[in-house]
Amino acid sequence: MGIKADNGMEVLMHIGIDTVNLNGEHFSSQLQVGDRVKIGDELVRFDIAAITALGYDIITPVLVVNSEQYPHLSCRQPGPVNFGEQIVALHTEEHNA
């Protein structure tokens, strides 16, 4: 799933390792292309039990696709994240001048 913020930051979230092989089975997007989202909005529903039963790892990489535009990036330590926890803070050069 890709998200583009108003400030141009592009984030890619991939739920699970190799889950693309499921062709969308056990996943249900709660959004349409072009929808605007805010903190707390539900993005996707997925059946963790079914996915892991098929042997897939549900580790979910979250990548900043255009990270070169954010030279000052701070990330939390790897590990489980709870709803509402901040995982990354990005600053453009102008915020650090």
Q: Which residues carry out catalysis?
A: 14
Burial 13-50 (b: 16+ CB within 10 A, else e): eebbeebeeeeeebbeeeeeeeeeeeeeeeeeebeeee
> Alpha-carbon distance 59 to 87, whole Å?
14
What order do you get walking across the sheet with 62-64 strand by strand? 2-4, 10-13, 62-64
Residue position matching structure tokens 């994240």: 81
Q: Give, as one character, the DSSP assignment of residue 17.
A: S
